[in-house]
């Protein structure tokens, strides 16, 4: 009889340990959930923004060739540098190339696209947008 009582006590102790473990695990899960909700999440707005712009030292003929490629086979969205569009002025090869280079780079940089354009472009931390002409910038 004493043996049965000992087995019963052992079984009860095991069950109490399981209950305590389950309670402890529940509290741990609950605590992790609360912490996850309290820690601020980044939506990417705090990451540094960058733009691909024409290098001012590049000759106009080199910029023009790179601009033609970016707006043609390169697939950049160059509608905004057409006449009467927000980025047409200033009407310079450098400004139009900067817009086209940036359009291409923002579109393809996460797929291996570069801001090079035969050494005619460079990455800048300064936003080249002006007035109604807004340059894209994705993190």
pTM over 0.85: no
User: Using CB atoms within 10 A of its CB, is residue 55 exposed (0-12), middle (13-18) or buried (19+)?
Assistant: middle
Rounded distance between C-alpha atoms, residue 95 and residue 135, angstroms: 11
Question: What is the pLDDT at residue 16?
Answer: 73
Domain ranges of the chain: 1-39, 51-124
pLDDT cut 70: percent of the chain above it: 68
Q: Specify which of 29-33, 83-87, 111-115 reaches the highest per-range mean pLDDT.
A: 83-87
Question: What is the pLDDT at residue 24?
Answer: 61
Rounded distance between C-alpha atoms, residue 23 and residue 42, angstroms: 32
| Residues in CB range of 51: below 8 A, 6 or more apart | 98, 102, 105, 123, 124, 125, 126, 127, 128, 135, 137
Q: Is 90 exceeded by the pLDDT of residue 50?
A: yes
Could you say which DSSP state residue 81 is in?
A: G
| Residues in CB range of 86: below 8 A, 6 or more apart | 80, 131, 132, 133, 134
List, for residues 95-117, the tens digit of each pLDDT value: 999 999 999 999 999 999 999 99
């Amino acid at each position: 009889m004493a043996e049965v009582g000992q087995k019963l006590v052992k079984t009860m102790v095991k069950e109490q340990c399981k209950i305590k473990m389950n309670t402890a695990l529940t509290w741990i899960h609950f605590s992790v959930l609360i912490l996850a909700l309290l820690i601020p999440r980044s939506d990417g707005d705090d990451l540094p923004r960058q733009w691909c712009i024409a290098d001012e030292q590049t000759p106009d003929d080199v910029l023009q060739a790179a601009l033609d490629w970016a707006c043609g086979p390169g697939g950049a969205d160059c509608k905004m540098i057409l006449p009467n569009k927000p980025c047409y002025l200033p009407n310079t090869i450098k400004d139009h190339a900067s817009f086209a280079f940036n359009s291409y780079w923002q579109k393809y940089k996460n797929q291996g696209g570069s801001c090079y354009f035969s050494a005619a472009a460079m990455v800048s931390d300064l936003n080249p947008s002006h007035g109604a002409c807004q340059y894209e910038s994705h993190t």
